[in-house]
Amino acid sequence: MVETKAGQSKGIARRKLLGGVAGAALGSGAVTGFPTIWAQNIRNVVLRQFGTGVSNQNAIAEKCKEDLGITLQMTALDSDAVTQRAVTQPNSYDIADIEYWICKKVFPAGVLQPMDTSKIRLFDKIVPIFTTGKLTPTSTIAQGTAPNTVGFVDGPGSTRFAAAPTQWFTMIPTIYNADTLGIRPDLVGRPIRNWKDIMDPAFRGKTSILNIPSIGIMDAAMICESGGVIRYGDKGNMTRAEIDKTIDFLIQAKRAGQFRAFWKTFDESVNLMASGEVVIQSMWSPAVTAVRSRGIPCVYQPLEEGYRAWGGGLALAKHLRGLQLDAAYEYINWYLSGWVGAYLNRQGYYSAVLETARQHMTADEWGYWMEGKPAQGEIKNPQGQVMERAGAVRDGGSFEQRMGAVACWNAVMDEDRYMVQKWNQFIAS
Amino acid sequence: MRGRVAALALASPLALILLAFLLVPIGTIVVVSFFDYDSVRMFPAFVWTNYEELLLSPITWKTYLLTLWFAAVTWAICLAIGFIVAYFLAFHVHSALMQTVLFLICTIPFWTSNVIRMISWIPFLGRNGILNSALLSMGAIDQPLEFLLFSDFAVVLAYVHLYALFMVVPIFNSMVRIDRSLVEAARDAGASEWQVLRNVIIPLARPGIAIGSILVVAVVMGDFVTVRLMSGGQSASVGLMMVNAMSLLQYPAAAANAVVLLVVVLLMIAAMLRVVDIRKEL
């Protein structure tokens, strides 16, 4: 499958080159291609993209070079460094790959420019979570920095987020996912159903949460609400009183010895789980996969209260213009055209335009990753390693089941500074 | 006049290096510590809020006390180990060759990076780690010892492991330079081993002890990696506070904390130098 696909895209690339309509016909044939005047010299353009490691992948840069001729220079940094660089060195990048909550901080600083949706061919096909905020017309918008709330600005030069969709889109979604708690099914010894289960005295000294304030506070909020400790007005934008109560609850739990450790990096979370230091903890999806690939049972446990979701996107630097800006649009259109989507879906993330991604995946892959169906054969990751064997079912089920059960998004609060002070108090206590 | 020019010329490389790489950065930190900031940027200003928020917060005091406690415990243990090792090397190993060989053996752990040395404790001390497994299989314990890892114990253990040599080296250096005839004279005058140690060796090894202490205390006071990794993120240190502030782009807050820490450490070193005049006794 992989080989035929590569063959296909090469064929397309050749056609495209001959036809001189760079990238327009890529992947899905259904798009309304229009030739750009820059089509010929776009091949020499270099775009500097930086962001968190998850979507900044060399394979994507290589494929982009092959299909469009555009050279992508990728720099991967952690999310704090990304925020910092986005704001303080706006000329050091052309494309920022940032999370939505980071966008809420960075966009108002005036270092990014919104995209004209009329230049994005598959704009209408983008998963509506990012446009209207609603996965289906009946779903409710989750709390926190939901992508649609920072998805649009008023006009081309504006830095003010618009309440409803406009023609000016801040970020093209790259990857997103629904996070929950990871457990060691062999060691917890009972079914885990709720976020509050992490506070079960039976797990004293065997739990962990992540020590990244803006994400950790959301996990903490899910736990508090689940345990009936607090009922929040909006978890994603807590009042000072709510922050105080949440942190006090965490401090009590810490003093009682509930936590084994707090983790900050991906590998720490993998090691804590794999070594049996913890049996239930905040986790990211690829970390669960990493534990499992060592032959250690680990489940990304769906919980009744729902998921904490996160998402990232590509934003254009303010200084982009002319040829470079057109190249950036070409790149974005290519990004949505299917190959990248399939590549990301195969890693267990979700991508922005599902329709085109599906065309680049096998029926079995699509069934396993997106529809929650049992795998028919071996499920491989993009590097060709076997991730799951026949019969395996994705934890949490289908795309709709998982993304439809999002309770909150990673967030930046108005009381951000206060929250961080309190969080430091929790860690120091 | 020529002498003066030559002296100035000789001193200027060091002076320039210190100016460019010490005074200017520290000056910048001091200036930034008075800046104002929001969630993404800092603004040139002259405000005291960074210091107010820092000094009026009980968390700061608690964290400073905790860091001082770590420094004190680590210093005491390093001093005990360092003194004993140095004493053994200097007075009980008689051949110079053997001294050198044994001294080199002490430095072997330093051939790998300090992060590796620290991280390798984690699988050793963990709940299902080598130590717990061994103790369990020997029947010495029936529950894994949880305090071994991700605890203050683990932090101090790692500090001592990392920095004990900083104490051994200067003390050893002081001790080998003690004139053996002084020890002989003391013995001839009827002093016991203990009296020789107390009245001759310790006073003469004081500069080494002071230098070792300065090294250990200064390093521990500024540390953040060891505390974070060995306490599993459950403990805090002043360095860690700064890292947290910086990761949230609160540079002025971190700068203010850096200035306060600098003052505290300088005061501590000044106090140590009050007790031992290194220059006089070297």
pLDDT 10s digits, A278-326 = 999 999 888 898 898 888 999 999 999 999 999 999 999 999 999 999 9
CB contact under 8 A, B127 and A412: no
- Give the pLDDT band (50/70/90) at residue A277: very high
Is some CB atom of chain A closer than 8 A to the CB atom of B247? yes
CB contact under 8 A, B57 and A421: yes
What pLDDT is stored for residue B40 in this prediction?
67
CA atoms within 13 A on the CB side of A59: 15
pLDDT exceeds 90 at position B249:
no
For residue A50, give the 3-state DSSP assignment. Answer: strand
Question: B233 vs chain A: nearest CA distance in angstroms?
Answer: 5
Whether A363 and A377 have beta carbons less than 8 Å apart is answered as: no
Which residue in A261, A416, A428 is closest to B63 by CB distance? A428
Beta bridge partners of residue A207, listed in sequence order:
A259, A280
What pLDDT is stored for residue A52 in this prediction?
78
- DSSP string covering A270-321: HHHHHTTS-SEEE--HHHHHHHHTTT---EEE--TT-EEEEEEEEEEETT--
Beta bridge partners of residue A74, listed in sequence order:
A49
pLDDT exceeds 50 at position A29:
no
Q: Which range scores top for mean pLDDT: A173-182, B32-41, B241-250?
A: A173-182
Question: A112 vs chain B: nearest CA distance in angstroms?
Answer: 14
CB contact under 8 A, A261 and B232: yes
Q: d(Cα A262, Cα B27) in Å, to the nearest integer?
A: 35
Which DSSP letter does residue B95 get?
-
CB contact under 8 A, A277 and B126: yes
Q: d(Cα A197, Cα A184) in Å, to the nearest integer?
A: 13
Q: d(Cα A224, Cα A243) in Å, to the nearest integer?
A: 11
pLDDT, tens digit, 9 for 90 and up, residues B117-135: 888 999 999 988 999 999 9
Task: Write out the E strands in A88-150.
Answer: 95-99, 112-113, 115-116
Residue type for position B8: L
Q: Which residues of A touch B149 (CB under 8 A)?
A: 277
Fold of B57-281: MetI-like fold (1.10.3720)
Is some CB atom of chain B closer than 8 A to the CB atom of A417? yes
pLDDT, tens digit, 9 for 90 and up, residues A121-135: 999 999 999 998 888
Q: Please give the mean pLDDT across all residues of chain A.
A: 86
- What are the residue ranges of helices labelled H in chain B? 2-18, 24-32, 49-55, 58-87, 96-107, 114-119, 121-125, 130-138, 152-176, 180-188, 193-196, 202-222, 225-230, 238-247, 251-275, 278-281
Question: B234 vs chain A: nearest CA distance in angstroms?
Answer: 6
pLDDT, tens digit, 9 for 90 and up, residues A39-50: 567 778 999 999
For A415, the token pair is 């009381």
Which DSSP letter does residue A375 get?
P
pLDDT, tens digit, 9 for 90 and up, residues A361-388: 999 999 999 999 999 999 988 888 888 8
Domain with CATH 3.40.190.10 in chain A: 2-173+312-361, 181-305+398-428
Q: d(Cα A107, Cα A246) in Å, to the nearest integer?
A: 29
Which DSSP letter does residue A94 get?
S
Which residue in B41, B122, B240 is closest to A87 by CB distance? B41
For A158, the token pair is 């504006």
Whether A86 and A102 have beta carbons less than 8 Å apart is answered as: yes
Is some CB atom of chain B closer than 8 A to the CB atom of A276? yes
Question: A412 vs chain B: nearest CA distance in angstroms?
Answer: 10
Question: Longest C-alpha distance within chain B, in Å?
Answer: 80
Is some CB atom of chain A closer than 8 A to the CB atom of B131? no
Query: Looking at residues A92-103, what average pLDDT do you find?
Result: 93
User: Helices B251-275 and B24-32 sit at what angle, rounded to 10 degrees?
Assistant: 130
Beta bridge partners of residue A168, listed in sequence order:
A116, A153
For B12, the token pair is 């200027």
Percentage with pLDDT > 90 across chain A: 64
Q: What CATH number belongs to A2-173+312-361?
A: 3.40.190.10
What pLDDT is stored for residue B1 in this prediction?
64
Is some CB atom of chain A closer than 8 A to the CB atom of B63? yes
- Give the pLDDT band (50/70/90) at residue A11: very low
CA atoms within 13 A on the CB side of B49: 10
For residue B115, give the 3-state DSSP assignment. Answer: helix
Q: d(Cα A269, Cα A278) in Å, to the nearest integer?
A: 9
| Closest-CA residue of chain A to B146 | A205
Which residue in A259, A417, A427 is closest to B39 by CB distance? A417
Which DSSP letter does residue B199 get?
I
Report the predicted TM-score, pTM, of the whole model to 2 decimal places: 0.79
Q: d(Cα B198, Cα A364) in Å, to the nearest integer?
A: 80
- Lowest mean per-residue pLDDT among A31-45, A357-371, B265-279: A31-45
Is some CB atom of chain A closer than 8 A to the CB atom of B149? yes
Q: Which residues of A touch B53 (CB under 8 A)?
A: 421
CB contact under 8 A, B39 and A262: no
Question: A367 vs chain B: nearest CA distance in angstroms?
Answer: 38
pLDDT, tens digit, 9 for 90 and up, residues A162-187: 989 999 999 999 999 999 999 999 99
Task: Write out the E strands in A144-200.
Answer: 152-153, 168-169, 172-179, 181-183
What pLDDT is stored for residue A40 in this prediction?
61
Phi, psi (degrees; rounded to nearest 5) at B145 = -80, 115
Is some CB atom of chain A closer than 8 A to the CB atom of B61? no
Is some CB atom of chain A closer than 8 A to the CB atom of B8? no
Q: Provide the number of CB pairs (under 8 Å) joining chain A to chain B.
A: 77
CB contact under 8 A, B62 and A428: yes
Is some CB atom of chain A closer than 8 A to the CB atom of B40? yes
CB contact under 8 A, A277 and B150: yes
Q: By C-alpha distance, which of B71, B114, B64 is closest to B242?
A: B64
Q: By C-alpha distance, which of B185, B252, B263 is closest to B46?
A: B252
Is some CB atom of chain B closer than 8 A to the CB atom of A252? no
Fold of A181-305+398-428: D-Maltodextrin-Binding Protein; domain 2 (3.40.190)
Q: b/e per residue, B18-57, with b = 16+ CB within 10 A?
A: eeeeeeeeeeebeebbbbebebbebeeeeeeebbebbeeb
CB contact under 8 A, B244 and A412: no
Whether A250 and A426 have beta carbons less than 8 Å apart is answered as: yes
Whether A230 and A224 have beta carbons less than 8 Å apart is answered as: yes
CA angle A257, A262, A264 (to 5 degrees): 180
Question: A51 vs chain B: nearest CA distance in angstroms?
Answer: 15
Which DSSP letter does residue A126 get?
S
Which residue in A213, A261, A424 is closest to B234 by CB distance? A261
Whether B57 and A421 have beta carbons less than 8 Å apart is answered as: yes
Whether B119 and B229 have beta carbons less than 8 Å apart is answered as: yes
- CA distances A127 to A56, A102, B64, Å, are 21, 20, 49
Q: Which residues of B touch A277 (CB under 8 A)?
A: 126-128, 149-150
Q: d(Cα B154, Cα B121) in Å, to the nearest integer?
A: 8
Q: CB-based contacts of B242: which residues, under 8 Å, 6+ apart?
A: B224, B254, B257, B258, B261
What pLDDT is stored for residue A53 in this prediction?
66
Q: Which residues of B touch A276 (CB under 8 A)?
A: 127-128
Q: Which residues of A touch B125 (CB under 8 A)?
A: none
Is some CB atom of chain B closer than 8 A to the CB atom of A294? no
Mutate to test the interface with A, among B37, B38, B39 (most CBs of A within 10 A): B39
Residue type for position A38: W
What pLDDT is stored for residue B280 in this prediction?
65
Q: Is the ipTM of this complex over 0.90?
A: no
Q: Which residues of B touch A105 (CB under 8 A)?
A: 39-40
Is some CB atom of chain A closer than 8 A to the CB atom of B228? yes
For residue A348, give the 3-state DSSP assignment. Answer: coil
Residue A340 belongs to what H/E stretch? helix A339-345
Is some CB atom of chain B closer than 8 A to the CB atom of A421? yes
Question: B76 vs chain A: nearest CA distance in angstroms?
Answer: 24
